[in-house]
């Protein structure tokens, strides 16, 4: 089959690779009909994640048709159209039982790497390096889905791929990030980053009762989408002092909640620098504006800080004094996608939201290298790329 493979920083290629096979009775094989490129894929593309190997298949936002099933999978049938959550979860462990799916104890066979770095291992993810399980991703014609009896969401007839594809990741991610803001009536939520995740965070903040959403970015078309689709007030961080502007807009008090939908992109991070390989791969960008630092300083006293943006390794010069002295509450992490699949599918079905608003580019799988390039550099007004194998 054809698959999008990582060959190093800024080097993805469409290779011919062996078809996936059922390895476990709980597996399914999915023939992929739609798959997207995510801001998280850019961390791999940038070379920020050291445990990638040349030839690894990328992609964690995908859906398609069930074409083969292990003997233990009873919840779906061959021919069903399904969405696949990006986090892989067993459904039975301490964490899955507590609705903490992205912290599953049984889905990361290489958990020892993360344990060494972080003390504990999170769940395995599709297409996201050997540290997170080494699973082949879904930017391909077919993919093997482990624990298919737990993760697969069957899609009812009448919904297009584009309306449900983002249940795999960015819609639940924006939604959980907004939930983590603990929004109260009358609240103002500030969202850093108007990429796909930020766009869903803005919409979700309103769904969860925010009175005002203020969105921050520098890319005009992303700010415009936040304004038109998301009904947010917007700030261009290259044009205004974000901290001052937010103070002014909130009567000097600051936003009630601050949500970081940027992550490592903007940071002087020495993520995983104790891996020699990473030392070469990670560029230090200490002079760039950093969303997280602004978030902590801008948030009002007693406010909530929600991090959807991905961080790895260490982060320098985080103003913990601001966080401590203002009594901030922090929530963060990989999304517990399984928790949100059905409730958010319902919101799509009843017409509350059409997640396809975020798509700016549809391309063939063969065009993936171009897709990565324009998405990374925000060329051609690119906000979200969907690939059609
Ligand atoms: P993206 O790269 O398209 O969007 C990031 C946006 O942030 C860009 O529009 C960029 O211009 C903007 N930005 C950069 N620096 C900024 C700053 N200082 N202030 C304000 N805006 C700034 O990516 P995306 O797909 O929207 O993903 C965003 C983040 O969410 C990434 O870190 C991604 O890894 C993460 N993510 C997390 C999860 C999760 O489970 N928590 C899931 C999916 C994605
Ligand atoms: Zn993603």
Total domain count for the chain?
Answer: 2
Same domain, 45 and 86: yes
314-to-1, 8, 108, 200, 267 alpha-carbon distances in Å = 38, 22, 22, 27, 11
Ligand 1 atom 7, closest CA: 193
Same domain, 112 and 210: no
- Which residue has 């937010």 as its token pair? 246
Domain CATH code at residue 118? 3.90.180.10
Q: Residues 277, 307: one domain?
A: yes
Cα separation, 165 vs 389, whole angstroms:
14
- Cα distances from 384 to residues 213, 223, 286, 289, 362, in angstroms, run 21, 14, 27, 23, 9
Rounded Cα distance between 139 and 66, Å, is 16
**Model-level ipTM above the cut of 0.95:** yes
Q: Which atom of ligand 1 is nearest to the CA of 42?
A: 2
Give distance in angstroms: CA of 336 to centre of ligand 1. Answer: 18
Q: Tell me: do 193 and 298 sit in the same domain.
A: yes
Centre of ligand 2 from the C-alpha of residue 161, in Å: 16
Give the residue from 176, 228, 179 showing the smallest Cα distance to 334.
176
Q: Are residues 23 and 142 in the same domain?
A: yes
- Residue numbers of the domain that contains 192: 171-332
The secondary element (H helix, E strand) that includes residue 63 is strand 61-69
**Residue 366: half-sphere exposure toward Cβ, Cα within 13 Å:** 0
Which numbered ligand comes closest to the C-alpha of 216?
A: 1
CA 86 to centroid of ligand 1, rounded, Å: 17
Q: What is the pLDDT of residue 316?
A: 66
Residue 43's H or E segment, with its range, is helix 39-45
How is residue 218 written in tokens?
């520098």
Residues 100 and 190 in one domain: no
- Residues 302 and 318 both lie in one domain: yes
Domain CATH for 228? 3.40.50.720
Ligand nearest to the CA of 381: 1
Tens digits of pLDDT across the chain (389 residues):
999 999 999 999 999 999 999 999 999 999 999 999 999 999 899 888 889 999 999 999 999 999 999 999 999 999 999 999 999 999 999 999 999 999 999 999 999 988 988 889 999 999 999 999 999 999 999 999 999 999 999 999 999 999 999 999 999 999 999 999 999 999 999 999 999 999 999 999 999 999 999 999 999 999 999 999 999 999 999 899 999 999 999 999 999 999 999 987 643 333 343 334 444 433 333 334 478 889 999 999 999 999 999 887 767 678 889 999 999 999 999 999 999 999 999 999 999 999 999 999 999 999 999 999 999 999 999 999 999 99
What is the Å distance from ligand 1's center to 196 Cα? Answer: 8
Domain boundary among 286, 312, 332: 332
Instruction: Give the number of whichever ligand sits closest to the CA of residue 332.
Output: 1
| Cβ neighbours of residue 254 closer than 8 Å, sequence gap 6 or more | 246, 247, 298, 299, 300, 301, 303
User: Measured from the CB, is residue 125 less than 6 Å from ligand 1?
Assistant: no
Closest-approaching ligand to the CA atom of 310:
1
Count of residues in the chain: 389
Ligand 1 atom at shortest distance from the alpha carbon of 288: 18
Are 96 and 81 in a shared domain? yes
Residues 6 or more apart whose Cβ sits within 8 Å of residue 82: 28, 30, 63, 64, 65, 66, 76, 152, 153, 154, 155
Do 188 and 98 belong to one domain? no
Instruction: Say whether both 178 and 321 belong to one domain.
Output: yes
Question: Which atom of ligand 1 lies nearest, measured to the CA of 266?
Answer: 15
The predicted pLDDT at position 211 comes to 98
Answer whether 261 contacts ligand 1 (Cβ < 6 A): yes
DSSP state of 133: T
Q: Which of 332, 351, 372 is the last residue of a domain?
A: 332
Residues 240 and 222 in one domain: yes
Q: Would you state the pLDDT for residue 265?
A: 64
Q: Which 8-state DSSP code applies to residue 20?
A: P
Residue 193 C-alpha to ligand 2 middle, in angstroms? 15
- d(CA 205, CA 191) in angstroms, rounded, equals 9
Atom 42 of ligand 1: nearest residue by CA position:
173
**Best of 309, 331, 374, 377 for a ligand 1 pocket test (most atoms within 8 Å of beta carbon):** 309
- Pick the last residue of a domain from 310, 332, 354: 332
Clarify whether residues 118 and 19 are in a common domain: yes
């Amino acid at each position: 089959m054809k698959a999008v493979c990582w060959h190093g920083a800024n080097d993805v290629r469409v290779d011919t690779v062996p078809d996936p096979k059922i390895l476990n009775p709980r597996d399914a094989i999915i023939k992929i009909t739609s798959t997207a490129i995510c801001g998280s894929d850019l961390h791999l593309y940038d070379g920020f994640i050291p445990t990638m190997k040349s030839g690894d298949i990328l992609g964690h936002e995908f859906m398609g048709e069930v074409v083969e099933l292990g003997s233990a999978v009873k919840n779906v049938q061959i021919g069903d159209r399904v969405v696949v959550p990006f986090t892989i979860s067993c459904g039975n462990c301490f964490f899955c039982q507590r609705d903490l799916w992205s912290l599953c104890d049984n889905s990361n066979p290489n958990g020892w790497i993360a344990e060494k770095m972080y003390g504990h291992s999170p769940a395995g993810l599709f297409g996201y390096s050997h540290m997170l399980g080494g699973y082949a991703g879904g930017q391909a014609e077919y993919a093997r889905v482990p624990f298919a009896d737990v993760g697969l969401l069957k899609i009812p007839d009448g919904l297009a791929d584009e309306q449900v594809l983002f249940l795999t990741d960015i819609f639940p991610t924006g939604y959980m990030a907004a939930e983590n803001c603990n929004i109260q009536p009358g609240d103002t939520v500030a969202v850093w980053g108007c990429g796909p995740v930020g766009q869903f965070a803005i919409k979700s903040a309103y769904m969860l009762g925010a009175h005002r959403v203020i969105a921050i970015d520098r890319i005009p078309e992303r700010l415009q989408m936040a304004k038109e689709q998301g009904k947010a007030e917007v700030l261009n961080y290259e044009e205004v002092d974000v901290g001052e502007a937010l103070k002014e807009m909130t009567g000097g008090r600051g936003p009630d909640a601050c949500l970081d939908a940027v992550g490592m992109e903007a940071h002087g991070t020495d993520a995983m620098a104790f891996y020699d390989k990473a030392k070469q791969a990670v560029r230090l960008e200490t002079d760039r504006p950093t969303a997280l630092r602004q978030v902590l300083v801008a948030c009002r006293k007693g406010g909530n800080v929600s991090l959807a943006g991905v961080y790895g390794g260490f982060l320098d010069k985080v103003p913990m004094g601001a966080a401590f002295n203002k009594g901030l509450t922090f929530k963060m992490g990989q999304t517990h996608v399984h928790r949100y699949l059905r409730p958010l599918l319902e919101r799509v079905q009843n017409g509350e939201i059409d997640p396809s608003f975020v798509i700016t580019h549809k391309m063939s799988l063969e065009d993936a290298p171009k897709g990565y390039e324009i998405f990374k550099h925000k060329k051609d007004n690119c906000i979200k790329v969907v690939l059609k194998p």
